[in-house]
Amino acid sequence: MKMKQAFQTVAFQIIYVFIYAISLLPQRLLYAMASFTFFIAYHLIGYRKHIVVQNVARSFSNMRYGEVHAIVKKFYVCFLAYFAEMIKSISAPPEVLEKKIIFENLEVMDQYINSGKKVIACLGHCGNWEILNFMPYKIHHELYAIYRPLRSVIMDKLMIKIRSRFGMKLLADGRAVRHVLSDTSAPAVYLFLADQSPRTEDERYKFHFLNQQTYFFSGMEKLARKARTAVIYLHITQLSKGSYKIACLLICSNAELTKDGEITQKYIDLLTENIKEEPYGWLWTHKRWKR
């Protein structure tokens, strides 16, 4: 057991040093590497291309064939560029990132936290959502990202290391409910990526989304109502290549006063607007409608 842990520690350190060294390369070179990867993934391998085409075509049924494929192609270009930006963020000075990442209406979080209220900040896989790792640098409150631990211990440690550079705290999804509901935990902001496909088929959480009947996780809403939190949507848009704006949009001030499904519906409406604004920016490779 000790031998295995020692191996995992050494392997993690080697991989991290290797990625850190790559992150020291100029951003232009990292983008060039992303472009080369795009050529392989899109033109040669066609990685999940049929899934992406199908998802986009079904979501925008009024689009023509050429329009669908234009979105699909731009999605792959942007998606691989996000990786280049994420790698660069491992070593980039905070002063540089601050110029590239603009937060709008962050004071709404301060308002609730300072009044002793916890905040659930939900978002979708829009744009380069990994840039939110920089968010703790901009707010003076504890910030937790709810995540699902990876099966690989080495990759899980690597993900935690990269995402916690600026003070982000990662909270495993299995511990999230107890932590948020705990009376001893101080008011904080909890990030939820809530647009993945749930295992449940609860008809109460089946909504009309992008022209299709779609199931959504009920956990985020149920937790918000039970913990009496405020709920905010983080709207991510790309201003230019490598530059982003994150706007904080209020869903509700008192989740406990909302009706069943109301928070989820408002989240879906805002997510839909986010996707329609930049249709190439959403994570189309995900099998969102596999059922």
Per-domain boundaries in the chain:
2-281
Give the number of other Cβ atoms within 10 Å of residue 178's Cβ: 10
- Residue 100: which residues within 8 A CB-CB, separation 6 or more? 242, 243, 244
Q: Give pTM, 2 decimals.
A: 0.94
Spatial separation of the C-alpha atoms in residues 84 and 90, rounded to whole Å: 10
Spatial separation of the C-alpha atoms in residues 226 and 190, rounded to whole Å: 14
* Phi-psi label, residue 167: left if phi above 0, alpha if psi -120 to 50, beta otherwise: left
Copy the structure tokens of residue 84: 């280049």
- Give residue-wise pLDDT tens across range 57-98: 999 999 999 999 999 999 999 999 999 999 999 999 999 999
- Give residue-wise pLDDT tens across range 189-203: 999 999 988 876 667
The pLDDT score that the predictor gives to residue 291 is: 66
